[in-house]
Structure formats: C-alpha cells, structure tokens
C-alpha cells in the first residue's frame, strides 16, 4: 500500500511539472502583415509641416541627461530590454502592451526611422497632452489614450484623410455629428481641440463598454464596430485583438501595433536619446475669451497686434477668419497676454468691429489707412471720410434661376450637392424630397443665383453729408470698459471642480482664478464661496 501511495504521489508531481512547462511554452509568433502606408503618410506630412514651422533658428541639441549620450547616437536595445519596459508599462495600465514579434518590429522601426517624428509630436504634445489628460480623467479613461491622437493625426487639428475624416481625433462627418460636433460655413467642430477630445472620450468609452478590451476598442475606433464584429465571427468567436487580427482590414492590422510603438517611444524617449522639439506655445500659456458678437480676426489683429495667421493656428475650428455669433458663445483661444488685453478692451473690440464692418456684417477688408490708438482703455479710430461710411459704395442685385440635373448611375444627393456647391438640405427643399434617396434618371432642380453689381446712390449722398460734418467726424472716442460690475458669489457643492464652476458661469479657469486670488484650483471644498463675477 505504501508503494502504491509513493507511485501515486510521483505521478501527481510529474503531471504538475508537465502542466507548468506547458504553461511556459512560448506562444506561436503572430504573423506580421503591417503595411503602415496610411500612418507613414501622416508621419511624412507632419514632418513637412514641422520643418516649415521650425526651420529657422531651431536648435537640435541631443538630450543631456544621466545616460550621457553623444549627439546623433541611436541607442540599440535587446528584445529583452523592450519586453521589460512593455511589462513595466502594463503594470500601471489597463492596456495590453503585448511583447510579440509584431509589436517589437514596429517599435524598432519607430526607434530607428521615425525619430524626428517622435521629437515633433513630443513638442506638439506640450500644447495638447494636458488638455487630453484632463478630459480622459474626467471620463475615467486610461491616460495612455492621449497617444491615440498621435497615430490618428500627428497632433495636427486640420489634417483631413482621403476618406473625409478630420481633426486631431479623425472623426468622419456622420460620427462627429452623432457626438455633437457641428459644422457650418464658418466652423467645423471636428477641428476644435476641446470639443473633439470630449467627443473622442465619449466614443472610446462606449466602444470599451461594448468589447471590454482596450485593444479591441482601438480596432473598432479605426475600422468601426461592424468590421470588428465581422472579424470576431470569422475567427470563430475569438475575443482578443491578436486572435482576430488576421481577419481585420489591412490598415487596422497595423493600428494597435502602431499605438503600442508610439506609446512606448513617447514614454521612453529619453532612453532613446530623443529630445522634444520646442513648440511655439505651451498649453499653460493659453487662455480663452468667449465673445458676445461675431468678430473678424482682422479686427482682433488691428486692436491688439495679434496676427491673423497666429489666431487661426490656435483656433483651427474656424474655417475662415470670421468668428460667427452663436449660442452658446463662440470663443477665441490665445496667449495669456493677448487674451488679457482683449478682455480689458472687449467693448472697444465690438465697437471697432461695428465701425469697420457695420451692423449688417459686411465683410469688406479692413482699410490699411485706418489708424488704431489705445490709451487709458480708450479706442480712437481715425480714417478718411469715405472709409467711415457704413453704406457700401456699390449694391448687388440678385436674380434667381433654375437648372436641372439628371441623376446618373453611382451619384448620390451628397455628390450632386458637392458638384453644384450647395447644401444637401437645399437640394431636398428645392425638390420637395423627404429623404436623401434618389433614382437614376430622376431630374433634380438646382437653384442658381446671378448677382449684378451696380452703383449705390445712397453712398454718394452719405459722403456728401459727411464732408459737411467732417470736423466732428474725424475722431470718435469710445468709452472705456465699465468696471463697476456687481460682485456675484457661488457656494461650492459636492462634486464640483474648478473647471466645471468656471464653465457653468461662462468663465475660463484663468478668469475664475483672477477673481479668486490665493485660492488653489485643486484644493477647493464643498461649502467654500468663490467669486464668479
């Protein structure tokens, strides 16, 4: 009986050992089918724009730190080094930073061939990553998702894909609209860093709730949930990215490895002797003013010497140089000193806009011989008499005509609207359509406008009247901004944050901080009173 017991014990030990070795047996390598064409194109475009922005006077000194690298050195590491770092990243992340032959190949490619791109996005990240982290934390999402925008757009808010995806987070029009991103003739909120980031957080959270796996959620962000669901079915019901990867679209097969590689290199850039390219602006140097009226950027430029090109660079949401009046108010983001000056001269800003463009919003260019002088919070505008007339020199007479378009095979209402530079809704209204469905051979009515410019008699009369009163019309002082505003206070409730309180009362965080000197934004408590006006 004793022998039988020893034999049984030996058998159990052998089975346990074989089970352990079976567990340690390496998994078969994942086949690499990456092409990376789309991402490489983004990289090349980003580098071209970066060199255009920073070619003059940029110092490319290599990183000087404890590693003591020499300039131009490209460090080389073993696979074991990479896997240890990926394992360390996994310890503090809910992502699966898998160390396999695909991710290792992609990381090595980035580390060797995409060094300048890494430096560029590290620099651009100083303008966007703080914003991303604030929003990701608000939605309870992993902070590593900030690197997703790197492989989507190269951190360029105005980049547009051939498929029509736009902005830092590359939203298609329909998806952007679904998440509240509006578009009209003057603006496209897919290019608004704050609103697009908020929409991306909500969309990513929804995808994660569907799949319960971040790598699958990222695949769905790139290819759409439909393609991921198809890949799951074709794989026989597998539920991990690496198992369904061969069944995904070709671009998506490289998407998660690109994300892993970008996250790794941006985390361990110092170890790879990579120094961030210095950006023109940092996130902490920015503030925001929300406008009560529509404003031309040319008016802002004249008032506070802030070039239109710089305004547009920090406000990519606007398609033109005009900021339209909307509700909620449209805002302009810029350097602290420029926004501070605009806040102190806000009444003067609207007065100057009125004087140049008139109440009808006539978008004539600002005359070059208009002189601007700001002294003691007063604005003085001097101009020749004919420049101060709000009535235009000419008037436009418009007549409406109609043409017809015969629908051809392969055409849609959207493509026809684009062909004639009209809105889809206009086509539907002109043709009494209740849906966007059309048929081959159908005749669609297209409205066209013919405009004729004629001399305006009212302008001539106004000039003659102005000449008679020239002595009183040459200089017009505008009153200073009123400062005797009644103070208003808010009592903090449980769950409030500094940013939420600022937003609720139409303020920026910087404006709320100025109203409450000595208050720490990160240490407010329920019951505390803050001044909000």
Cα of 363 vs its chain's centroid, Å? 27
In three-state secondary structure terms, 331 is: strand
DSSP 410-432: T--HHHHHHHTT--HHHHHHHTT
DSSP 230-277: HHHHHTTS--SHHHHGGGS-HHHHTHHHHHHHHHHHHHSTTTTT--PP
Whether 152 is a known active-site residue: answer yes
Strand-pairing partners, residue 456, are none
Q: Which is nearest to 241 in space by CA: 208, 271, 289? A: 208
The Cα–Cα gap between 201 and 141 comes to 8
Classify each residue of 350-385 as buried b or exposed e, where b means 16 or more C-beta atoms within 10 Å of its C-beta: bbbbebbbeeeeeeeebeeebebebeeeebebebeb
Catalytic residue among 37, 52, 70, 152: 152
Helix, strand, coil share of the chain (percent; to 5) = 50, 15, 40
Phi, then psi, of 402 in degrees rounded to 5: -125, 140
Q: How many CB atoms lie within 10 A of CB 215?
A: 21
User: What's the chain's length in residues?
Assistant: 533
List of E strands, 267-321: 286-290, 295-296
Classify each residue of 162-189 as buried b or exposed e, where b means 16 or more C-beta atoms within 10 Å of its C-beta: eeebbbbbbbeeebbeebebebeebbbb
| Diameter of the chain measured on Cα atoms | 129
Q: Which is nearest to 128 in space by CA: 102, 150, 103, 105? A: 150
Phi, then psi, of 326 in degrees rounded to 5: -145, 170
Catalytic residues: 152
């Amino acid at each position: 009986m004793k022998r039988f017991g020893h034999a049984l014990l030996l058998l159990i030990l052998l089975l346990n050992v074989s089970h352990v070795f079976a567990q340690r047996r390496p998994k078969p390598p994942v086949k690499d089918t990456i092409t990376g064409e789309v991402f490489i194109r983004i990289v090349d475009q980003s580098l071209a724009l970066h060199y255009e922005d920073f070619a003059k006077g940029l110092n490319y000194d290599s990183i000087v730190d404890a590693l003591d690298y020499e300039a131009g050195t490209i460090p080389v590491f073993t696979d074991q080094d990479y896997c240890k770092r990926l394992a360390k990243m996994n310890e503090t992340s809910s992502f699966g930073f898998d160390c396999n032959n695909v991710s290792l190949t992609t990381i090595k490619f980035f580390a060797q061939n995409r060094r300048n791109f890494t430096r560029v996005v590290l620099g651009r990240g100083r303008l966007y990553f703080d914003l991303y982290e604030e929003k990701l934390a608000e939605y309870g999402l992993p902070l590593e998702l900030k690197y997703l925008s790197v492989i989507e757009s190269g951190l360029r808010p105005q980049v547009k894909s051939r498929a029509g995806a736009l902005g830092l987070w590359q939203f298609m029009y329909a998806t952007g609209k679904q998440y509240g991103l509006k578009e009209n003739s003057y603006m496209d909120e897919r290019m608004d860093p704050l609103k697009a980031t908020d929409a991306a957080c909500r969309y990513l959270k929804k995808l994660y709730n569907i799949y319960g796996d971040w790598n699958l959620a990222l695949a769905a962000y790139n290819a759409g949930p439909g393609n991921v669901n198809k890949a799951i079915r074709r794989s026989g019901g597998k539920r991990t990215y690496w198992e369904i990867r061969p069944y995904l679209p070709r671009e998506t097969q490289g998407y998660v490895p690109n994300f892993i590689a970008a996250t790794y290199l941006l985390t361990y850039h110092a170890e790879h002797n990579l120094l961030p390219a210095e950006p023109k602006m940092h996130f902490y140097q920015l503030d925001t003013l929300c406008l009560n009226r529509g404003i031309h950027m040319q008016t802002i430029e004249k008032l506070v010497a802030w070039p239109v090109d710089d305004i547009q660079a920090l406000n990519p949401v606007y398609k033109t140089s005009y900021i339209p009046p909307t509700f909620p108010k449209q805002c302009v983001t810029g350097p602290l000193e420029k926004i501070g000056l605009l806040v102190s001269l806000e009444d003067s800003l609207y007065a100057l806009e009125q004087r140049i463009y008139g109440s009808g919003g006539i978008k004539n260019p600002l005359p070059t011989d208009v002189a601007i002088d700001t002294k003691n919070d007063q604005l003085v505008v001097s101009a020749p008499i004919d420049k101060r007339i709000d009535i235009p020199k000419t008037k436009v007479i418009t007549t409406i005509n109609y043409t017809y378009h015969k629908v051809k095979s392969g055409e849609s209402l959207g493509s026809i609207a684009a062909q004639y530079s009209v809105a889809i809704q206009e086509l539907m209204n002109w043709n009494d359509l209740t849906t966007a469905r059309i048929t081959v051979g159908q005749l669609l009515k297209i409205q066209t406008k013919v405009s004729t410019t004629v001399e305006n008699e009212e302008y001539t009369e106004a000039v003659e009247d102005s000449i008679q009163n020239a002595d009183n019309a040459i200089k017009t002082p505008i009153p200073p901004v009123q400062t005797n505003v009644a103070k208003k206070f808010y009592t903090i409730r449980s769950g409030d944050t500094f940013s939420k309180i600022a937003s609720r009362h139409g303020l920026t965080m910087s404006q709320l901080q100025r109203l409450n000197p000595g208050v720490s934004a990160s240490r407010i408590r329920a019951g505390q009173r803050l001044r909000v006006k």
